[in-house]
Chains A and B, each alone.
Chain A
Amino acid sequence: MHARLAGWVFAGPALLVLAVFFALPVAAALLLSLTDFDLYALADPAHLRFVALGNYLDLLRTPLFWKSLGNTFYFVLVGVPVSIALSLAAALLLDSPLARMRAAFRTALFAPVVTTVVAVAVIWRYLFHTSYGLVNWALGHVGIAPVDWLGDPHWAMPTIIAFAAWKNFGYNMVILLAGLQAIPRDLYEAARIDGASRWRQFLHITLPQLGPVLLVVGVITVSGYFQLFAEPYVMTRGDPLQSTVSVLYYMFEEGFRWWNLGRASAIAFVLFVVILAATALLLRFGRRRGAL
């Protein structure tokens, strides 16, 4: 076999799979979003009509779409900083020369990451149960009245955010820990000789040195958190009062419950554009701060 041909033969199967099951559907989704593909078209493609930007314009007039977008932004804008702060705190603790049994602690803190979202979301649903959940029982000891965590529109999203932070912080923790370990120790030594406090060392050495890693972690987490789906599906089904309907949850309902595939494709593309814009904004911010 000629080497040039070999390249294509070896890369071929992967490229074929990605072309047929990813590139083609993505292109088709764009076309689909310009049609009124629904249950009737599913039965007989003759019912299919081209509606141009009709689905998109229609979405802009749908209150639930705006609601889902708002809920998703709430989840991202609060959830991402909370998650990354927790990851950074855990990484700093693990990086401390005073910490003992680091390997064991790292394993324990990382464990939630490898668990199955659906299964652990079910656990949380019971832990946060209003009348017999452990959380309300514990809060009762400090005199806090029971909260209807997943049934109160004000508390449902914060509960899901707490769940996501618990489930995911270990992932970024490992990346940040590797970043911390790469910072030259003599930088701290020099700062200490100059009499800089620990807080100033953190602000002026740790954070700037960690900049590029924080940017990577930020981009990964933001794009991941915009794809919120399993948590509301299992914990709240989008309720109460649609306060936990995320964009993807809305897409799933439109597409696979009501079979409005055209409209659902439009929702998917809006989400794609939002993620793209958020990532670009983050990278630009990082570049300006000199992180890249």
Chain B
Amino acid sequence: MSRPVGETRWRAAGVNAALLALAALSLAPLAWMLSVSFMPRGEAAQFPPPLLPSAPTLDNYRELFARTGMARHFANSLLVATAITGLSLLVNTMAGYAFAKLRFRGRERLFQLLLAALVVPAQVAMLPLFLLMKQLGLVDSYWGVILPAMASVFGIFLVRQYARSIPDELVEAARIDGAGELRIFFRIVLPLLRPVLATLAVFTFMASWNDFMWPLIVLTGQEHYTLPVAIASLSREHVMDVELMMAGAVVTVAPVLALFLLLQRHYIHGLLLGSVKG
């Protein structure tokens, strides 16, 4: 049954207008942040609030890096997120491969246990984890953030799902040729896992870059603060400095947004794989 052409045209206009409105709503706060970060001091705290800077300036960024140690926090975030991504990628990939392809005693039961552990909120572990870190002398150190993030059930699960599609014959053939298990893993398995590795890397990097609660707990000194912890603390000190705070927000958000725009495909792929658990 065909509908009148005029009605379809109206519907098309409606659908696209609604999408445009939603997109504007999604991006407006981010656009405002960018605009205010270039405003001269005090300009945003006026009525009516200006939308664009009267005289664009980089002063806020200059002050941010000169006075609040933002360069240090940026470097901390980069270091922690990169270390977590690299280490957890190796650890999770090895485990995911083992759960998919290597037969060992109690494998299935162990994997069920890992999946069951997903229902426990991470925060339940945080209080004793802090005491453990204190015992290990790792409170207020990068390792205090990195160590607990070095393995994740989500990562193991993701790699396992993907690794199951590797034909057993491939691994068997290499074994018959006399290749050691490590050699098989690095030479044959790892290259085949490349797509899922990219996905997991993007996911892990973004999650650790944005992570807040545990770094807030375990990093007690300014010099180790990651960006989110630094921004939270700055926003309490500099409540009135809208422009400075927005520059800080830009510095925090821009890297992950850029990474997402570049590697969108991998990110969405991981999100869809991760949501169909079991």
A residues whose Cβ falls under 8 Å from a Cβ of B:
1, 3-11, 13-15, 17-18, 20-26, 28-29, 32, 90, 93-94, 96, 98-100, 105, 107-112, 114-120, 122-127, 131-134, 137, 166, 170-171, 174-175, 178, 192-193, 195, 216-217, 220, 223, 226-227, 229-230, 233-234, 248, 251-252, 255-256, 261, 264-265, 268-269, 271-272, 275-276, 279
Contacts and interface: CB of A to CB of B under 8 A. Distances in A.
B19 to A, nearest CB: 5
A111 B260 contact: yes
A21 B276 contact: no
A272 B121 contact: yes
A275 B118 CA distance: 12
A15 B181 CA distance: 19
13 contacts: A6-B98, A14-B94, A15-B151, A93-B15, A100-B16, A114-B260, A120-B30, A122-B245, A123-B30, A123-B246, A174-B271, A248-B123, A256-B217
Counting contact residues on chain B (CB < 8 A from A), the size range is: 35 or more
Interface of B: 1, 8, 11-12, 15-16, 18-19, 22-23, 25-27, 29-30, 32-33, 36, 44-49, 91-92, 94-95, 97-99, 102-105, 107, 110, 114, 117, 119-132, 147-148, 150-151, 153, 156, 175, 180-182, 185, 206, 209-210, 212-213, 217, 227-229, 231-232, 235, 242, 245-246, 248-249, 252-253, 256-257, 259-261, 264, 267-268, 271-272, 275-277
A193 B1 CA distance: 7
B47 A137 contact: yes
Contacts of B129: 21, 25
B123 A276 contact: no
A10 B213 contact: no
B228 A26 contact: no
B29 A99 contact: no
B127 A29 contact: yes
Contacts of B210: 114-117
B30 A230 contact: no
A250 to B, nearest CB: 12
A184 to B, nearest CB: 19
A117 B46 contact: no
Contact of B231 (A11, A110, A122): A122
B271 A251 contact: no
B15 A11 contact: no
A132 B47 contact: yes
Nearest to B3: A192
A26 B30 CA distance: 38
Contact of B49 (A4, A133, A264): A133
A174 B272 contact: yes
B151 A32 contact: no
Contacts of B180: 1
Contacts of B95: 10-11, 13-15
Nearest to B136: A20
B217 to A, nearest CB: 6
Nearest to A248: B123
B271 A175 contact: yes
A143 B202 CA distance: 46
B132 A17 contact: no
Contacts of B25: 166
Given A10-B97, A108-B27, A123-B32, A216 B121 contact: no
Given A15-B95, A234-B235, A271 B121 contact: yes
B253 A3 contact: no
A116 B128 contact: no
A94 B19 contact: yes
A252 B272 CA distance: 32
- 6 closest A-B pairs by beta carbon, nearest first, are A7-B104, A14-B95, A28-B128, A10-B98, A7-B102, A25-B125
A94 B23 CA distance: 11
Contact of A14 (B151, B175, B242, B249): B151
B49 A10 contact: no
Contacts of A90: 22
